[in-house]
Amino acid sequence: MHPFDEMYEAVAQSAASPVAGAAVRAHYRSYASWLAGQDDTLMRSRRDEAELIFRRVGITFAVYGAKDEDGSGTERLIPFDLIPRIIPADEWREMRRGLVQRVTALNRFLHDVYHDQEILKAGVVPAEQVLNNAQYRPIMQGVDLPNNVYSSISGIDIVRAADDQGKGVYYVLEDNLRVPSGVSYMLENRKMMMRLFPSLFANHRVAPVAHYPDLLLETLRASSPAGIAAPTVVVLTPGMYNSAYFEHAFLAQQMGVELVEGQDLFVKEDFVYMRTTRGPKRVDVIYRRVDDDFMDPEAFRPDSSLGCAGIMRAYRAGHVTICNAVGTGVADDKSIYPYVPKMIEFYLGEKPILQNVPTYMCREPDSLKYVLANMKDLVVKEVHGAGGYGMLVGPASTQAEIEEFRQAVIARPDGYIAQPTLSLSSCPTYVESGIAPRHIDLRPFVLSGTEVQMAPGGLTRVALKEGSLVVNSSQGGGTKDTWILEV
């Protein structure tokens, strides 16, 4: 079966060009007509202009472990594609409903895990899966959070694949609830498209995304400890050598709040303060882009200099809010992902709107047996892996790679899950050879405060290598602007 193509009703097997004469889907027709009239030389010059501007602005990410020829660390641009991914209004409405439902259930699960543990007592989620999980934080047990929200900013990865009738079906591939990144690229991609092709936005009713920083700040302020009329919000970054530092600085600047490092904060009498030129200033909400283990050397890793000593004491006392909450990782672990549909039914009494990808848990003997026998056809993932690492894509791997991964799974089956190799939907993409289909995913950013909100769309990531299913920027993927058409 051919992959579902977002723009055309059929896609070529070779991925060199769309099927000749294939019908254009209704929501792409106006754009396809415009694209057909564009000169290739003009498109190439626009692509070069985008790269120059992104480089000048400093929209880069660091690649850990990668080295330039001189041995120094390397920073790379995330390639930007000129052809947008377009989603019609009715599809977005349904996806949005599913995202609100899913994130609401995940926050209910996190509150339950750190309080009464009803879902564990009911046997819906195995207790050992949670309580023995590396991301479970006993220090959070019994801590009450504003609005009972643990994941204020959730990045939910969604893919699309063709069903038996060739219709595109959306699936949730992964929940990112700790420190999800990429929203700055969503915003910068839109600005770039409006700069390069302003006429397109006069002819298409594209839902705006520029208000995301306002929504984010509203969400963070809504999570402030009770009784504070004008909360002070800061963005906590590990520093300029972090791969997502551009985004940390960008969001702080867009929200008009301070960007701080751990050394800029201190705790006194269980309150958190920021050092300023005018003296200490109390901090009420910390939008942290630092992992749990590095947040507080008193509570977690004593060798960490990225966080602030005593911050967990202030947090547990209710004098500061950390977004996302410490301990959220227990809900986005890949070994917990298969239980999210059951969480939705348990907490909300509803059927899931968005489907999970079928998942085999290698900790279960029957699933392990199936996975070991069918590795060449599956995607096998380390439960704590991220960024496209710790993963085997069976159909694209050598026999030696499969055998090496097989031994790792046998040695530690509870550390792995496996899924069918979905043929991710493709979207026309401007590559060196011209316009060709490439596989994509979508990461909408869901904000939970007193209510659940989101900017329309999200970050579309694209696997630029022909045939590749790995869209992660650290693995050579690029990004596209995502258009939600307003009716």
Amino acid 12: pLDDT: 46
- Topology of the domain comprising 358-420: Dna Ligase; domain 1 (3.30.1490)
Quickly tell me which residue has 């690492």 as its tokens.
389
Amino acid 158: pLDDT: 96
Give the C-alpha separation, 299 to 332, whole Å.
22
Beta strand 80-87 pairing with 478-484: parallel
Tens-digit pLDDT profile for residues 241-290: 888 899 999 999 999 999 999 999 999 999 999 999 999 999 999 999 99
Domain ranges within the chain, ordered by starting residue: 26-225+320-353+422-484, 226-319, 358-420
Quickly tell me which residue has 């600047």 as its tokens.
253
Take residue 308 and report the two structure tokens written for it: 């602030």
DSSP assignment string, 344-410 = HHHHH----SSEEPP-EETTSHHHHHHHHHSGGGEEEEETT--TT-SEEEGGGS-HHHHHHHHHHHH
Amino acid 391: pLDDT: 83
Summary mean pLDDT of the chain: 90
- Topology of the domain comprising 226-319: Rossmann fold (3.40.50)
pLDDT of residue 387 exceeding 60, the answer is: no
Question: In DSSP terms, which residues pair with 280 in a beta bridge?
Answer: none
Label residue 59 by pLDDT band (50, 70, 90): confident
Contact 471, 441 (CB under 8 A): yes
The H or E element containing residue 119 is helix 118-121
Amino acid 14: pLDDT: 39
Give the C-alpha separation, 163 to 2, whole Å.
10
Tens-digit pLDDT profile for residues 3-43: 799 999 875 443 444 445 579 999 999 999 999 999 999 99
226-319 and 358-420, same CATH topology: no
**Which distant-in-sequence residues (6+ apart) come within 8 Å of 153 by Cβ?**
180, 216, 219, 287, 323, 324, 445, 446, 447, 448
